[in-house]
Amino acid sequence: MKRETVGRQPKVTRLGYNERHAKSGINAPLPEIETFPNQYKGYEITIEIPEYTAICPKTNLPDFGTITLHYMPDKACLELKALKMYIHAYRNLGIFYENSVNRILHDVVKACRPVWATVTGTFTARGGLSSKIEARYPPQKP
Provide the pLDDT for residue 133: 97
Structural domain contains residue 103: yes
DSSP-assigned states of every residue in 85-129: HHHHGGGG-B--HHHHHHHHHHHHHHHH--SEEEEEEEEEEETTE
Based on the residue annotation, tell me whether 63 is a catalytic residue of this protein. yes
Q: Above 70 in pLDDT, residue 107?
A: yes
Structural domain contains residue 30: yes
Whether 113 and 43 have beta carbons less than 8 Å apart is answered as: no
Based on the residue annotation, tell me whether 77 is a catalytic residue of this protein. no
**Separation CA 15–CA 4 (nearest Å):** 12
Structural domain contains residue 142: no
Question: Tens digits of per-residue pLDDT, 80-97?
Answer: 999 999 999 999 999 999
Domain count, the chain: 1
> Could you say which of 63, 77, 107, 112 is catalytic?
63
> Could you say which of 56, 74, 77, 107 is catalytic?
56
Before 62, cis peptide (omega within 30)? no
Structural domain contains residue 97: yes
Its domain, for residue 64, covers 2-137
Q: What percent of the chain lies above the pLDDT cut of 90? A: 73
**Lowest pLDDT segment from 63-67, 103-107, 138-142:** 138-142
By DSSP bridging, strand 129-137 and strand 116-126 are antiparallel
Structural domain contains residue 125: yes
**Lowest pLDDT segment from 10-14, 15-19, 47-51, 114-118:** 10-14
